[in-house]
Amino acid sequence: MTDRKPSVPDLPVLQKWMQSVITHVDGVVAGIHSPESQQHVAVDASQIESVVTPSERRTSVQRLEVYAHAYYARLIECLKSIYPLFAKTVGDELFDQFAVTYLQQYPSQSYTLNRLGDRFPEFLEETSPTYRTDQWSFEDFLVGLAVVERSIDLIFDGPGFEGQEAVSPVQMEGISPESFAEATFEVVPCLRLHAFPFPVNDFITAVKRDAQSPIPEFEPSWLALTRRDFIVRRVPLSRLEYHILYGLVEGATVAQSIGGALIEVEQPDNLQADLAAAFAKFASEQFFLAIDVQSERTAG
């Protein structure tokens, strides 16, 4: 770097330089010296006044820091809009700490802020004190809460099946047991399945009624998320229902899905009744677009 006063760049170059400076995760000074900003304007902090003039109250760097703080404040508000229940649960101060650290580790790389929070649950999991252990902690509950909120956001913005007819319980009743066992299902594109070590869905329901609801104790839970009539629905599942549905989502036959579920779950006393109730529930919740019986697809 020479002491020669750098020439003032044209507006497009200056805009790119300023963006790289104020969005740098280590602050404005580090942003000024970063390779990205240097390729636009080769200036160091001692020469910054040749690019950004100081005001009566602030130096050039301080003026840039105003924009940097506003930029990160906007990102934090965006994250909060994606994870409102998470933010309410941990409080604004702790949420801001989570958000700033997350943005430093996973800075925005997309032209749209809709993708800003994609890795927030992953970040929470990686920073949990019980990460990759057999123990459970409060942080694991927070991970589950964030996972649900992220899924809800993705389902709301993603593809659905509005305008299409789903498979009804009546349609399944007309299939012979033998054919039904070998059937496969096409699930709706907005269906997502989750398993948690805490009753996350129960907490969400409770906190919507009472903001002071206590954090639940450890208790495994299973949840399906879907969208009907442009409204995201939360459908609690039993462990048996979850594992059967998981197999169907993966493309397994009904018999294969039930067999896989019974590896994970102790066989109930009244298996046939439980299976009938499970598939009636799946159909009534409109989880299926079509059922393929003996290679002859019957659309819903």
Cut 0.85: pTM above it: no
First to last CA, the chain: 69
Measured distance CA(42)–CA(285) in Å, rounded: 60
Average pLDDT over residues 242-269: 96
Q: Which two tokens stand for residue 292?
A: 């393929």
Q: Which CATH class, in words, describes the domain spanning 165-299?
A: alpha beta
Q: Which two tokens stand for residue 255?
A: 């018999």
Q: Which two tokens stand for residue 174?
A: 């007309």
**Exposed e or buried b for every residue in 89-121, given b needs 16+ CB within 10 A?**
bbeeeebbebbeebbeebeeeeeeeeebbeebb
Domain ranges of the chain: 1-79, 83-157, 165-299
Average pLDDT over residues 105-125: 85
Residue 236, sorted as left (phi over 0), alpha (psi -120 to 50) or beta, turns out to be beta
Q: What is the pLDDT of residues 116-158, one digit of tens each?
A: 899 999 999 998 877 767 778 888 999 999 999 999 999 999 9
Q: What is the pLDDT of residues 52-97, one digit of tens each?
A: 888 888 888 888 878 777 888 888 999 999 999 999 999 999 999 9
Counting residues of the chain whose pLDDT is more than 90, the rounded percentage is: 54
